[in-house]
């Protein structure tokens, strides 16, 4: 849910519930990717804004700046006729302009502390298929739909099953904060698409599905809390266990960011539980601590002095305190909007109200007090924790370390690795990206992929399958299984 330039540090969880313009108000479809240069002192930065349509008729916006390693930074979208406003409130940045050329261009002004610059964003052409995966992968691929019987909504996705007779271990993928499709596509990088391709080629069946309210999935993403998403994970486990060619005793969960916390919560709950959990950059601190730290990082990255950083953190703390002490949402929104308006002359009344609504959403209220440590002692399955040293959204030291310590102290089977140079999206440094059609393409860390596959192979007592080789039925003797391993690769 990540990095720098005008203060857009990360996938701020508070903003992730927020995008928004209604589809009916759009003069032309805005969904897709928009690209354009932002002129700054000393150079230019390429900005990519992705707008995803939700099933409730609204849109989710996310900003990427690959040069600065900013990935999926949530953006509020406000549109009236052809007048468009994109706002990143916590960074004090916005784009104000118009939709031109029958929806082919967004022209306006980018504003941030110390900078006001003309900017044009043009619709990005779809990337050629050659930049993705082969048209005919050496495994079975099926579009599927399964039901969450608790919340009464369906989830649509893709199940990939290795070649061979099986039965195969399987894993369901759970995404990070924000409305995301089954591939978790970020500026042409299909994080879950690449992960599923690799694991399936190596003998692991993979289920990846659209988030609630996205693509082929029904339900509401905006009104769902981290705890609510546990029922989606349980539904995915039950679905996989019912499928032919899947070993029902070897169905696990792999989560990224918030999805990793959902996986750990699911492993600690009654009901369908995973046989194993792979955690990619799970939160180890409370939600409030994570967001307060990110608020300070954002201010520092936009060049704020220590006094300004302290003022921003104090304002954030006051805002959360109001929300915690005011259970009545209407009253809380009024008080928060008033505080934001009085403390920030750059925010108008409508934006203050919109921001207050986000901060008092079910997701935000839950996340402020979410403590990921609470239920770890109830986790019964093996856990693999992975974090990158270049992850500035979820610090390995502040998050993976306490998770590992708590699981280890509770005598749980836990293995952990810090991956050198890997960022929050589990990409290695850009100089390690492969060349495709003469252009470097972002890729999932090969080191992370191998560690995940090798660990699952041992955990499910399955021989490791070389790339392209047919998978065989699990057959390692139980005495070879590793138990209670704690590894920290720095």
Q: What is the DSSP string of 142-169?
A: EEEEEEETTTTEEEEEEEEEESSS--EE
SS3 of 316, please?
A: helix
pLDDT of residue 439: 73
Last residue of a domain, one of 76, 95, 123: 123
Q: Are residues 149 and 234 in the same domain?
A: yes
Characterize 319-354 residue by residue with b for buried, 16 or more Cβ atoms within 10 angstroms of its Cβ, and e for exposed.
bbebbeebeeeeebbebbbebbbeebeebeeebbbb
Angle at 186 between CA 135 and CA 192, to 5 degrees: 55
Q: Are residues 104 and 167 in the same domain?
A: no
| Residue 54 DSSP class | B
Report the percentage of the chain scoring pLDDT > 70.
79
Q: Kindly give the pairing relationship between strand 153-162 and strand 139-148.
A: antiparallel
Local confidence band at 306 (pLDDT 50, 70, 90 cut-offs): confident
pLDDT of residue 437: 66
Question: Within 218-286, where are the H helices?
Answer: 230-241, 258-268
Greatest alpha-carbon pair distance for the chain in Å reads: 67
Q: Has residue 485 been placed in a domain? A: no
Question: Within 326-442, where are the H helices?
Answer: 329-343, 349-359, 362-368, 401-409
Q: Are residues 292 and 280 in the same domain?
A: no
Say if residue 464's pLDDT is above 70: no
Q: What are phi and psi of 308, to 5 degrees?
A: -70, -40
Q: Which helix (H) or strand (E) element contains residue 312?
A: helix 306-325
Q: Are residues 177 and 112 in the same domain?
A: no
Q: Are residues 159 and 250 in the same domain?
A: yes
> Considering the entire predicted model, what is its pTM?
0.75
Separation in Å, CA 383 to CA 219, 275, 278, 404, 452: 29, 9, 6, 9, 11
Q: Has residue 261 been placed in a domain? A: yes
Say if residue 129's pLDDT is above 70: no
Report the percentage of the chain scoring pLDDT > 90.
47
Q: Has residue 486 been placed in a domain? A: no
pLDDT of residue 405: 94
Q: Has residue 137 been placed in a domain? A: yes
In which region does residue 35 sit, left (phi positive, over 0), alpha (psi from -120 to 50) or beta (all else)? beta
Last residue of a domain, one of 123, 143, 177: 123
Q: What is the mean pLDDT of residues 6-12?
A: 33
pLDDT one-digit tens code per residue, 226-237 = 999 999 999 999
pLDDT one-digit tens code per residue, 402-460 = 999 999 998 889 999 999 999 999 999 888 887 666 677 888 999 999 999 999 999 99
Q: Give the residue, 483 or 118, on which the prediction is more confident.
A: 118
| Residue 214 DSSP class | B
Q: Which of 190, 136, 162 is nearest to 467 (CA)?
A: 162
pLDDT of residue 3: 33
Q: Are residues 306 and 409 in the same domain?
A: no
Q: Peptide bond before 448: cis, by omega within 30 degrees of 0?
A: no
> From start to end of 351-459, where are the E strands?
383-388, 414-419, 435-436, 439-440
Ranges 8-22, 297-311, 335-349: which has the least confidence? 8-22
Cα radius of gyration rounded to whole Å, the chain: 22
**What is the rounded CA–CA span in Å between residue 455 and residue 69?**
28
Q: Which helix (H) or strand (E) element contains residue 317?
A: helix 306-325
Q: Has residue 7 been placed in a domain? A: no
CATH code, 171: 3.40.50.1820
Strand pairing partners for 386? Answer: 280, 417
Q: What is the mean pLDDT of residues 320-338?
A: 95
Say if residue 483's pLDDT is above 70: no
Q: Has residue 6 been placed in a domain? A: no
Whether 98 contacts 84, CB under 8 Å: yes
Q: What are phi and psi of 128, to 5 degrees?
A: -65, 150
Instruction: Tell me which residue has tokens 């209604």.
Output: 22
Structural domain that includes position 447: 129-285+372-480
Whether 393 contacts 2, CB under 8 Å: yes
Last residue of a domain, one of 57, 92, 123: 123
Whether 379 contacts 240, CB under 8 Å: no
Q: Are residues 383 and 242 in the same domain?
A: yes
pLDDT one-digit tens code per residue, 383-406 = 999 999 998 788 899 999 999 999
Q: Are residues 199 and 270 in the same domain?
A: yes
Q: Has residue 240 been placed in a domain? A: yes
Q: Are residues 176 and 270 in the same domain?
A: yes
Instruction: Tell me which residue has tokens 């002692």.
Output: 377
Q: Are residues 328 and 198 in the same domain?
A: no
Count: domains in the chain:
3
| Four-point Cα dihedral 192, 219, 53, 108, nearest 10 | -100
CATH code, 69: 2.40.128
Q: Has residue 171 been placed in a domain? A: yes
Q: Which helix (H) or strand (E) element contains residue 33?
A: strand 32-40
pLDDT one-digit tens code per residue, 63-119 = 777 666 566 667 888 877 888 888 776 566 788 999 888 888 999 998 876 678 899
Q: Are residues 230 and 281 in the same domain?
A: yes
Whole-number mean pLDDT of the chain? 81
Q: Are residues 318 and 270 in the same domain?
A: no
């Amino acid at each position: 849910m990540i990095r720098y330039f005008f203060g857009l540090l990360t996938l701020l969880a508070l903003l992730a519930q927020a995008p928004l313009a209604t589809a009916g108000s759009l003069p032309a479809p805005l969904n897709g990717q928009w690209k354009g240069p932002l002129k700054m002192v000393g150079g230019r930065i390429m900005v990519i804004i992705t707008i995803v349509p939700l099933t409730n008729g609204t849109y989710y916006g996310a900003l990427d700046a690959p040069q600065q390693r900013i990935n999926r930074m949530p953006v509020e979208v406000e549109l009236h006729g052809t007048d468009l406003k994109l706002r990143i409130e916590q960074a004090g940045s916005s784009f104000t302009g118009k939709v031109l050329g029958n929806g082919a261009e967004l022209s306006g002004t980018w504003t941030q502390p110390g900078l006001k610059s003309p900017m044009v964003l043009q619709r990005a052409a779809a990337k050629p298929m050659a930049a993705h995966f082969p048209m005919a992968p050496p495994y079975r691929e099926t579009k599927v739909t399964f039901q969450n019987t608790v919340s009464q909504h369906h989830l649509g996705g893709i199940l990939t099953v290795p070649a061979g007779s099986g039965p195969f271990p399987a894993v369901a993928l759970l995404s990070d904060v924000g409305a995301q499709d089954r591939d978790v596509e970020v500026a042409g990088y299909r994080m879950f698409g690449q992960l599923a391709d690799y694991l399936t080629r190596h003998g692991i069946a993979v289920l990846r599905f659209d988030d609630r309210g996205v693509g082929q999935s029904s339900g509401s993403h905006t009104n769902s809390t981290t705890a609510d998403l546990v029922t989606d994970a349980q539904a995915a486990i039950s679905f996989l266990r019912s499928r032919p060619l899947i070993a029902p005793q070897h169905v696990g969960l792999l989560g990224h960011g918030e999805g990793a916390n959902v996986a750990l919560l699911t492993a600690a709950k009654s009901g369908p539980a995973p046989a194993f959990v792979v955690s990619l950059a799970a939160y180890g601190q409370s939600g409030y601590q994570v967001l307060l730290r990110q608020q300070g990082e954002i201010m520092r990255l936009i060049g704020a002095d220590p006094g300004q950083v302290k003022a921003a953190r104090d304002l954030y703390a006051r805002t959360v305190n109001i929300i915690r002490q005011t259970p009545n949402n209407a009253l809380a929104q009024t008080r928060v909007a008033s505080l934001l308006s009085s403390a920030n002359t750059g925010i108008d009344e409508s934006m203050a109200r919109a921001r207050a609504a986000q901060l008092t959403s079910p997701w935000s209220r839950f996340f402020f007090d979410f403590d990921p440590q609470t239920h770890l002692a109830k986790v019964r399955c093996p856990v693999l924790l992975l974090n990158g040293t270049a992850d500035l959204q979820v610090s390995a030291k502040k998050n993976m370390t306490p998770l590992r310590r708590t699981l280890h102290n509770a005598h749980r089977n836990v293995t952990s690795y810090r991956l050198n140079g890997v960022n929050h999206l589990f990409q290695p440094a850009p100089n390690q990206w492969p060349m495709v059609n003469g252009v470097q393409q972002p890729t999932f860390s090969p080191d992370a992929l191998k560690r995940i596959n090798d660990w699952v192979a041992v955990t499910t007592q399955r021989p490791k399958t070389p790339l392209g080789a047919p998978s065989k039925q699990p057959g390692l003797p139980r005495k070879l299984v590793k138990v209670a391993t704690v590894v920290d690769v720095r």
